[in-house]
Chains A and B, each alone.
Chain A
């Protein structure tokens, strides 16, 4: 109708567009955060895919890095879960394998998923895992136990100031949502 209400309407449309845009922005923060953390490696997430190890990699014997392993269970996850090696000294570029022990003490089959996290977070970019139980969900029959290997090397580019870092695994019970078949045990 009037000129006034026309210009009101135009303005409302613009403002609603901002509102919708900001709602979208909230969701865009999710991939933005992942990409940002991926590039900078600041939230301690390691690569979820296997790295390939080049046998010709130069091992930097002048440096020795201490890698520590800790495990914990999400509350309600009944498995016993522990690192067989708690700390290990490696030279950057050297391939090492460590093992983790799991046992399902309950009377039901359970599927677990381990989530790695590195502290200090910046070290995560330089930890390359060529093989890890955390890449896949792990089924374990009632009462069964298993040794799960993890093979890794530390990138020689690791910043000089990092001499020790810790890799922690948190084990989650994903039985309800998993699509993996129950065959181990």
Chain B
């Protein structure tokens, strides 16, 4: 091992990088690009979060008081788009950029110049989307799912900008996915066979395949919306022979795999953190790999569980109900494996582990509400209510977002060379944990009682619950500022120095390079035994 470390010291002497902004604009270094993605995702998380605060402020009390209904709709739409395409997906891409080369012992991503492009077109896409909010008539207001005819016949003039920005986001993530796949196929260190690959690498490889399979379908869907609206085609217009239900099929053919794009890398992260802090090997590594692959394959045949109320024939409803329930089997395998990994381990409760534990419990709650929604006859009551909102926020916020936070705590010492501030971390964790449940748990109840989603007002009997939900929302939003402070502190190199190993139970190549990881690593590939 000492030879690897020697090489790395040598590497540190030739960090030729231009100074200032040009370094970031022109960089092709996977660590720089990873950092850019992560910061971008965090900024988008705060911007999208600010919109959620507007939503919750309006819903604090029944009645219309703060914003116009049309602006409220723009907030729900752009909040969703930003969180999905601007926060969660770029954060995972950032983690992949930083960690995949380090984990497989590669000097960089396979296609560094494309990497630079795939990041730098993203800010443009979101500037366009955000700018559309300030145009006359406002930005997109048809929901992140942009169902036709809301996005065609009834949408405002800024729809072309919406379509354009989604195209750019799509191109960016497709380029990112291609890069990940080529890197993993071609740049693994000698001896790193498929079944020795770290779980994060496996889950990202499968995610990348999902991305190149469904992002083009999304691009097709927005293109059809564009031509229906501006060029007189009738893909989704019944008057011209089209069918608005077709839109939903195309959208959800993309949309359901998309939700797994946002959770598979999270599964990978948790599969690193749980063994580290249980000081045991991951239980059932190969079953984890197969479970991930089968979740990805099954995710293509369940899309219509979002469409139970569109008047599908009975056999289709039955098929999509059972196929959906089938997915919870491999998902259950994963949860079982994490619990089995902890079983009789010597567990310690550092911050990454705390977030991972919260993930396991709360993500499972989201999985259960998903199962409830998968039961066709009851979905007729739950559909388009706050129950669905509760479901997808449990899987996405306490699932995907918590896993990203866990990952940041886990790898931040490696990135910055300093341990994070323990006090701030405790505050961040406990404030987030309590507020996030105050925010999302009561949504189950108001949803079951019939409160519809995406409506700026509600019946009086929901007032108390909504007040508490809003308070939870503001508290969760504020808690993230603690996280921001903690990250700024570590990246300013304030804190206790971290060792190369950082966590004593951690395994993997990333822990064999010094902390902070030098600009260039693994220029001579390490030997994997």
From A11, A33, A174, B249 is in contact (CB under 8 Å) with A33
A-side interface mostly: helix
A170 and B220 contact, CB distance less than 8 A: no
CA distance A18 to B212 in the complex (A): 7
What residues on A are CB-neighbors of B232 within 8 Å?
A: 177
Give the interface segment out of A82-90, A115-123, A148-156: A115-123
B216 contacts across to A, CB distance below 8 A: 19-23, 25-26
Q: State whether the Cβ of A55 lies closer than 8 Å to any Cβ in chain B.
A: no
Interface residues of B in 216-239 (CB under 8 A from A): 216-221, 224, 232, 235, 238-239
The answer to whether A15 touches B181 (Cβ under 8 A) is yes
B214 touches A22 (CB 8 A): yes
B1 to chain A, nearest CB (A): 25
Collect the chain B residues with CB atoms within 8 Å of residue A74's CB. 239
Q: CB of B20 within 8 A of chain A?
A: no
A48 to B243, CA, bound (A): 14
Interface residue tally for chain A (C-beta within 8 Å): 38
What's the A-B contact tally at a CB cutoff of 8 Å?
90
- B220-A23 in contact (CB<8A): yes
Q: Which residue of B lies closest to A7 (CB)?
A: B186
Interface assignment of B250: CB less than 8 Å from any CB of chain A: yes
- The residue that B217 contacts in the complex, of A26, A37, A170, with Cβ under 8 A, is A26
Complex Cα distance, B242 from A113, in Å, reads: 13
- Asked whether B111 is an interface residue with its Cβ less than 8 Å from the other chain, the reply is yes
Contact B239 A115 (CB under 8 A): yes
Q: Please pick, from A8, A25, A29, A119, the residue contacting B182 in the complex, using a CB distance under 8 A.
A: A8
State whether A26 touches B221 (Cβ < 8 A). Answer: yes
User: Which chain A residues numbered 23 to 58 have a C-beta less than 8 Å away from chain B?
Assistant: 23, 25-27, 29-30, 33-34, 37, 40, 42-45, 48
> Are B178 and A23 in contact (CB-based, < 8 A)?
no
Q: Please choose the segment from B309-317, B387-395, B411-419 that sits at the chain A interface, where 4 or more of its residues have CB less than 8 A away.
A: B309-317
User: Across the interface, do A174 and B178 meet the contact criterion of CB distance under 8 Å?
Assistant: no
List, in ascending order, chain A residues with CB within 8 A of B238's CB.
115, 170, 172
Whether A33 contacts B311 by the Cβ 8 Å rule is: no
- A119 in contact with B311 (CB, 8 Å): yes
Q: Is the CB of B178 within 8 A of A16?
A: yes
Q: Does B60 contact A (CB under 8 A)?
A: no
A48 to B239, CA, bound (A): 12
B185 touches A11 (CB 8 A): yes
**Given the complex of chains A and B, what is the CA–CA distance between A37 and B111 in angstroms?**
44
- Closest residue of A by beta carbon distance from B171: A19
- CB of B181 within 8 A of CB of A11, answer yes
In the complex, what's the smallest C-beta–C-beta distance from A116 to chain B, in angstroms? 10
- Given the complex of chains A and B, what is the CA–CA distance between A43 and B238 in angstroms? 12
Judge whether B424 is part of the interface by a CB distance below 8 angstroms: no
- The answer to whether A179 has its CB under 8 Å from any CB of chain B is no
Known: A19-B212, A74-B239, A170-B238. A12 touches B182 (CB 8 A): yes
Interface pair A26/B219, CB less than 8 Å apart: yes
Q: Decide yes or no whether B476 CB sits under 8 A from chain A.
A: no
Highest count of chain B CB atoms <10 Å: which of A12, A16, A34:
A12
A43-B248 Cα distance, complex, nearest whole Å: 13
Residue numbers in A under 8 Å from B245 (CB-CB):
43
Determine which of B110, B215, B235, B312 lies in contact with A8 in the assembled complex, contact meaning CB atoms within 8 Å. Answer: B110
- Given contacts A8-B110, A42-B312, A115-B238, is CB(A15)–CB(B249) below 8 Å? no
Assess A29 versus B178: contact at CB under 8 Å? Given A8-B186, A23-B216, A23-B219.
no
Q: Does B213 contact A (CB under 8 A)?
A: yes
Could you tell me which B residues sit within 8 Å of A by CB distance? 110-111, 174, 178, 181-182, 185-187, 212-221, 224, 232, 235, 238-241, 243, 245-246, 249-250, 253, 311-313, 316
Q: Which 4 A-B pairs have the closest CB atoms?
A: A26-B220, A172-B239, A23-B216, A22-B216
